[in-house]
Amino acid sequence: MFKKKEQSQQQTASPPSPPPTSTIQQQQQVVQQPPNIPIQQPAQKGSMFKGSLKVKAQPPLTQEVQQQQPLPQTYQSQLVQSQSNSDVLSPESDAYKQQYNQVETSIIQEESNIEQKIEVKINVDEIKKKPTGFGFLKKKQPEQPPPTDESLQEQVESQMIYGIQVKQNQVQDANNLQEQIQEQSLQSNYSPIQNKDHSFNDDQNKQLQKQIEQNEKEIEQQQLLQQQQLQLQQQQQQQQQQQYQQSKLQYQQQQQQEQKLFQSNSPLKNNFINKSQNNSNSMNSQLDNSYVKQHQMIMDELEYFQSEVNKKKAQIYIAQQEIEKRILCYQQKLQDCNSRLTQLSIEQQVCVQQEQFERAEEIEQCLKQIQEKITQIDNIIKQEEQQYTKLQDEKENLRGEEYPFYQETEQRLEEIERLHIKYSDQYRFEGQNQIKKLQQHIEEENERVKIQQIHTEIDSKHLDEEEQHLNQIMDNQTKEYRIEQDQLISKKSNLEQEIAELQQLLNQKKNELLKVNVDLNSTKEKIQQVQQKFNLQLAKVQNKRTKLNDELNSLATERAQIEALEGDNLRKQNEYKNKLEYLAQQLESIKEKRNELIRKANQVPEQCQQELDVTFKYQEAKKASLEALRELAQVQRQIDELNYKRNMGQSQLHEILNKKSELQKKLPKMIDDKAQLVQNKNFKGAAQINEQIKEVQRQISQYEEKISENQNLETQILKEIDEIEDSFLTKQHQYQQLQQNTEICRYFVLELKLQEIQQIDYFGLSQLTSDMKNELEQLFNKYQDLIYANRKISTDNVDQIQDHQQEADIQVIQQEYQQDNSLETGQQLNNQIEEQQIEQNYDLVQHQQQQHKEDEIEMSEEQKQIYIEEQKQLYQEIQQQMKQLEDQVQDYAQKEQYEEADQIQQEVDRLTNQANAIQLELKQKFNIDSLIAEEEQN
């Protein structure tokens, strides 16, 4: 692995090869250059050359002539050498060469002479040959990757662009020449040689047009070739795509066969599994980081599975919410129909009593229609509830699919984690070995260079001593001559001064000066003769010094190479450290994902059980509430019927009283008429009136009987109403409690459902969550205290469970919760026993208090202390009983048996009053402030 990294680093360190487009452009530039331009020879090894070269060149030839004339052999070799220099040279050569050649040509055309300017810039970094100790650093020649479709297409596009540029340049040149020709033609009107210039310009125009046509033909041919190349590339790409699709189909077929094998229980499956295990074992021996792709594939599968499950859950929750809304709407319609049914049934009874049979028949038809509508609504509600249960079952099935999938994914991630740890350990081991070897080699090279440096320093000192010794000998032998030379020089200067000062003695001094010059020359010759004797030795010393300087320079380059190698070593160590940190982070992420999957897999059965319990509790409470509502409606219907009968009786009573009052008003007049007829001796008329009076009196007596009957019936109806209202109030109170319990259960159901929905990442749940939050807020504001009480009880139980074996206690609590209904009778018996114990304790306390009050008159100090201790013990016993009863209150409240909890709470209040009375007595009589503080101190 480290070898691969070294090769990749060496490849990145080597200078990049020039792109193919640059080589094409250079060749085309070379083709356009005239052949008689002198070619710049490549620089020798180690040379550094920068400069500009101006060469007189002939006028440019046409493109046909350039194509016909072959390129010089030296230039072809230069092209080959430039192409070869673009690659990295082999390490077996004497030196590495990295050259970047840039040739800039600018052609300036004039009328007769064309001066071509060529600027050649060559940068050569010469690297000395490495010593034998650095053999491990030899660079391999990087393998040139095969040309891809994109590179070929880029080459073709660059060629097209270059052709267009050439064409544009040619058109511009032609336009410039035409402009020059026009100017010359204008000037030729005033020149005597107009005809000759005109013919010459015509010839040039013809030649230019021919060149332009030929260039256009060549460009068209190039474009055709480029189009053919593009078509070939497209065909190759299509073939590659077909091959890729075929291989993809084959891979899918293999996967399908593998899935079929895994789904079956045949011996072929076992063979396949064994084969795959053997392959995995063989791959583990040559471990690499291919498991990263498997990890990515697992995470993609997990993400896709979670997204699909979340989508299905979201759809189920939305559908359930819609069903709940429809059920509520249907229940409201059902209540309206029931209320309408009661009204029509009462109205029908009234019509029957009033003998309005036609109206009663119409009401009967309406009642049948309403009853049919009620049955239809009931059937619809049942269908909606069935659909709701189907969706709930579908959600449970999804959770059932989640649990094994999470377990399987967790196992696969466990295998990935094992491979990751193994790969990290292997990478750590190999990296440490490589770094140790590299550090050892660096230390060896440092020691070798240090030793060589010491030897060169010793040699340098010896050479300095030798040179100093030779200089000393030479100085000693030339000492007299140098003294004489100094004297003559001083004398010469004095004479020159004298000549300058005394021009009069010029002729005399000239002769002396000539003589002195002759003597000076002779002495110089003697000095040179002596120096020539030592020149050979000094040359040898100088050669040794140059060699020593070369060796010092090579040592400096080696030292620089060692420093670069140390830098590479540090960089590799940093890469190694960063890779280990990255592997550790990746391992941590895999562990976190595994733990998350384990938590999710463990939460699935808990969530299912919790949702089942909460939903079952809510459904039972809802069913009980609906049953109580039906009973309450039935009682209300009875009360309405009785009130209607009472109102009808009162109306009949008013009618009878009105008739009775009318008859009582008629009776005195009839008596007066009868007396008048008797007085007039009209006995027959008096007999008729007498019969009428008797009939009126009989009707009055009948009306009085009906009045008494109506009054008795009203009193009976009032008694029945009072009795039914008592049962109505009890049922109403029971319904309110059940409805309250139902809404609290509904709160916990919605809270659990909202928690599950918030974990789902799906875009269509915003409206559902907002509706659920609004409903939860309303319920919380309405039943805040009860919700806190239930939540506190549940959290206390959860804390106790977490302290003592969570899973076992959760199962026991769930079983006890499921068996609550079957243990109600046993709990009632326990409640009765506890109440009897409380009453007995209360009687004992009262009896003891009475005895203490009787004995309080005659008590000594010892008796007072005994009495105080007894009262304290009694206070402590009451406190213990209160704690036990408070625990029972919490248990009953958790089981939603609020009546029993209320009874025990009353007993707790009574015991608190008793304890407060004991504390008050001890404070007033014995000055004991507080028993609670003493208990805390004890």
Whose tokens are 């789904």? That residue is: 263
Q: What are phi and psi of 475, to 5 degrees?
A: -65, -40
Return the SS3 of 69: coil
The CA distances from residue 89 to 11, 81, 681, 746, in Å, are 12, 12, 170, 82
Cα–Cα distance between 272 and 268 in angstroms, integer?
Answer: 6
Q: Which among 357, 403, 323, 391 has a CA at the least distance from the CA of 598?
A: 403
What's the number of CA atoms in the CB half-sphere (13 Å) around residue 846? 9
H or E element in which residue 357 lies: helix 357-477
Query: pTM of the entire structure?
Result: 0.38
pLDDT of the residue at 85: 40
Task: Provide the 8-state DSSP code for 938.
Answer: -
Q: What is the gyration radius of the CA atoms in the chain, in angstroms?
A: 61
DSSP letter assigned to residue 137: G
What is the model's pLDDT at position 809? 46
Quote the tokens at residue 562.
């060692």
Query: Measuring CA to CA, how many Å separate 715 from each of 650, 702, 743?
Result: 11, 20, 41
Q: Is 36 helix (H, G, I), strand (E, B) or coil?
A: coil
Location of structure tokens 């230069």: 78
* Burial track 73-90 (b if 16+ CB lie within 10 A, e otherwise): eebeebeeebeebbebbe
616/609 Cα distance (integer angstroms): 10
Pairing of strands 114-124, 99-108: antiparallel
Closest to 824 in 3D by CA, of 874, 897, 761, 774:
897
Query: How far are the Cα atoms of 364, 688, 702, 705 from residue 695, in angstroms, in the given order?
Result: 41, 11, 10, 15
Do 672 and 726 contact (CB within 8 A), yes or no? no
Question: Can you list the positions of beta strands (E) in 68-124?
Answer: 99-108, 114-124
Separation between Cα atoms, residue 888 and residue 831, nearest integer Å: 10
The domains of the chain are located at: 18-137, 149-262, 819-937
Long-range contacts of 486-491 (CB under 8 A, 24+ apart): 488/516, 488/519, 488/520, 488/523, 491/516
* Order of strands, sheet of 99-108, starting from the edge strand that comes earlier in the sequence: 49-57, 114-124, 99-108
Q: Give average pLDDT by consecutive 10-residue segment, the chain, 938 residues.
A: 42 41 39 38 36 38 40 40 39 38 38 37 39 36 44 55 64 69 54 45 66 74 75 74 69 56 41 42 47 82 84 85 87 85 80 79 88 89 88 85 84 84 83 82 84 85 84 83 85 80 74 84 83 78 83 83 82 83 82 78 75 80 82 80 78 82 84 81 77 84 84 83 81 81 82 78 73 81 71 44 43 43 41 47 48 48 75 82 81 70 78 80 70 47
Angstrom distance (rounded) from CA 603 to CA 795: 18
CA distance 191 to 807: 119
Distances (CA, A) of 212 to 110, 167, 208, 217: 20, 8, 6, 9
Phi, psi of 593 (to 5 degrees): -65, -40
CB-CB contact of 648 with 353 (8 Å): yes
C-alpha–C-alpha distance, residues 649 and 723, integer Å: 19
Tokens 């511009």 correspond to what residue?
Answer: 172
* CA distances for 442 relative to 431, 454, 552, 571, angstroms: 16, 18, 19, 15
